[in-house]
Amino acid sequence: MEFQKFKKIPRLSRNCIITEKIDGTNASIVIKSYSFLDVSDCQFITKYALNLPEDFNEGTFNFSEQDLFLFAGSKSRWLDTSSNGDNYGFAKWVKENAEELLKLGGGIHYGEWYGKRIQRNYGLNEKRFALFNVGKWDDENKPNCCEVVPIIAEGIFDTDLINASLHSLIDTGSYIVPGFKNPEGIIIYHKASGQLFKKTIENDEKPKNSKE
C-alpha cells in the first residue's frame, strides 16, 4: 500500500492579490498544438477549433504536430458557434478575433465574458472578455481585444485589507467599467496556497443560488 504523506500547510500571512469580481459568465480560451491534444482526431478539431481556414476540408486536410488550434469553453463544456452551442456569443467572438487571441500562447486562459445581456450588464452596449491571470497579463502585453481584471490591492493576507478593498469598491464603483455603481465584489488570490476566494457586496453569507 502506498504511503500517503500529509500535505504541506501554507502560511496564511503571505501575499495576496485582490481583484474585482466581474459578474458575467466564466469563459476560457484554449490554445494547443496538434501533438498535445488529448483528442487529436479530426472530428473533434472540425467541430470545436475556431481558427480553421475557410477552405478546410476534413477529408483532405493534413495536420502537422506544430499546428495550433484555438478553442473556446464555458465553465463546464466546449463551445461552438451554433445557436445552441455558444455561450452568449463567446465562441463567435473568439472566432472573429482568432489571430489576435493566438498571441496568448499555448495553454488555458481563463476569464470573464461580460457586458450586454449578461448578468448585471454593466451598462454596456457590447460584450467584453477580461483575463483573470494578473500575474501574467497587464495592459501592456495583453491581446488588444482583451481586458485584464482590475487589481484593487496587494499585500499580506489580512481581513482588514480585504474589507478595505471591498469598501473601496462600494465607494468607487466598478473599476473595470468606471461609473457603474453596482459592482459584485472581490476575488482574493492567496499566493502561498494558490487558492482563490470570493467575497460579494450583497448576500455574501448566503450560498450561491440560495432562495432564502
Phi-psi region of 2 (alpha: psi -120 to 50; beta: other; left: phi over 0): beta
**pLDDT of 183:** 98
CATH number at 79 reads 3.30.470
How many structural domains comprise the chain?
1
Element housing 187 (H / E): strand 185-190
Please, is 183 exposed, middle or buried when counting C-beta atoms within 10 Å of its C-beta (0-12, 13-18, 19+)? buried
In a domain, 8, yes or no: no
Amino acid at position 38, single letter: D
Domain annotation covers residue 177: yes
Residue 63: what pLDDT? 73
Q: Please answer whether residues 129 and 145 qualify as being in contact, where contact means their C-beta atoms are separated by less than 8 angstroms.
A: yes
Q: In 3-state terms, the chain is what percent helix, strand and coil (to 5)?
A: 20, 30, 55
**For position 61, what pLDDT does the model report?**
63
pLDDT at 32: 92
pLDDT of the residue at 66: 77
CA-angle at 117, arms to 113 and 119, nearest 5°: 65
SS3 101: helix
Q: What is the dihedral of CA 14, 177, 106, 136, to 10 degrees?
A: -30
Residuewise pLDDT in 10s, the chain (212 residues): 999 999 999 999 999 999 999 999 999 999 999 877 776 677 788 889 999 887 776 655 677 777 899 999 999 999 999 878 799 999 999 999 999 999 999 999 999 999 999 999 999 999 999 999 999 999 999 999 999 999 999 999 999 999 999 999 999 999 999 999 999 999 999 999 999 999 999 999 877 665 54
Contacts for 156 with CB less than 8 Å, ≥ 6 apart? 13, 14, 15, 16
Q: How is 66-83 classified by DSSP, letter by letter?
A: T-EEEEEE-SSSEE-SST
208 in any annotated domain = no
Residue 179 included in any domain: yes
- Give the pLDDT confidence score for residue 212 in this predicted structure: 44
Distances (CA, A) of 110 to 6, 11, 97, 116, 166: 30, 26, 16, 20, 23
Residue 10 counted as domain residue? no
The whole model's pTM is what?
A: 0.91
Closest CA to 70 of 41, 39, 107, 40: 107
Give the structural domain span for 25.
15-200
Residue 29 lies in a domain: yes
